[in-house]
Amino acid sequence: MTIPYGEDEALLGSAPGGENLMLGPSYGAQAPDGSWWFLDAAKDRLAHYDRDGSYVGSVYLPEDYLVDGVYFQYQLPRVLADGTVVAARFDETSTEFLISSGNELRKTSIAGAQIPRADDGSILFGFDFEGTQWSLDPTTAEWQPVDWFRGQDGSSYRIGIVEDGFLFARPDPAIEMMIPVRSTVGPGAVHPTIEVAVGADGVTHVFLLGISESDESIQLAGYATIGADGVPSDLEPMINPFTPADPGHPSHLGVAFGSSKPYFMIIGEDGVQIYQRS
């Protein structure tokens, strides 16, 4: 599915990004009902589309929600189990969360740069710049350090980059393993970043993006799963998701609450492209 850009309200926006670039939205996320919400920065709104890509409506941000009354800057969108849309923006000293529920907007701030990377349908999980794991209840803005993230199926897990691969662990049943990451580019070490989403069936979906020391000019992308039984799949190659319109946020991979089908999103030059497993 592709949702194109344009001036019409039913189309997503794009805006100048320097050096003659036009940047698309700051990504989107799928709701439990199958519809899609996008952080449409160029039009200062949350844009809503049905599961087939038809325009539903928008929630526009007032001026006091924008940085200096001009800049959108929210990213890392998520849609929780009750349909609440949550996004974040952060600096070194604080994090602000944008929360939209029932077409009503509010925002809340917490101290420190807390970067959300996962959720269980109601609680956000992420890292700070020091690598500490935390959980946040967006309804109360209460956050705390945690040892484990939690998936929408209730399972606990920990995942992170280590040398030559990534580490995955669960407390029950006890699993801890290093999954190596290699490239056909050459024997040099691979330096990836990671995105993760857990489906309703307990399967953990992992998207890896990085470069190899053998040839740093080549963008590497791969996808793997870890079953509910802890058994990892082989790493399979993915297309390079970066385009000149990409704002550079790590929001390609997701699984809607109540679903076990992952989606993969690319901010293309002519529109947002969404791929979903059947």
**Side chain identity at 213, as an amino acid letter?**
E
State the pLDDT at residue 53.
96
- The CA-atom distances, in angstroms, between 171 and each of 121, 156, 209 are 20, 7, 27
**Cis peptide leading into residue 187 (ω within 30°):** no
Q: Say which amino acid occupies 54.
A: S
Taking CA 99 as the corner, what is the angle to CA 97 and CA 100, rounded to the nearest 5 degrees? 160
Q: Given this model, what pLDDT does residue 16 score?
A: 84
Largest separation between any pair of C-alpha atoms in the chain: 53
CA dihedral (240, 25, 130, 228) positive or negative? negative
Rounded distance between C-alpha atoms, residue 69 and residue 109, angstroms: 17
Lookup: tokens for 36: 């899609």
pLDDT for res 93: 84
Decide if 52 contacts 274 (C-beta within 8 A). Answer: no
pLDDT of residue 79: 98
* Residue 268 CA: distances (Å) to CA of 15, 125, 210: 13, 28, 19
According to DSSP, the residues that pair with 150 across neighbouring strands are 156
pLDDT profile of the chain (278 residues), mean per 10:
96 84 93 98 96 96 90 94 95 89 88 89 90 89 93 94 87 88 84 93 94 88 92 91 93 97 96 91
End-to-end CA gap in the chain:
13
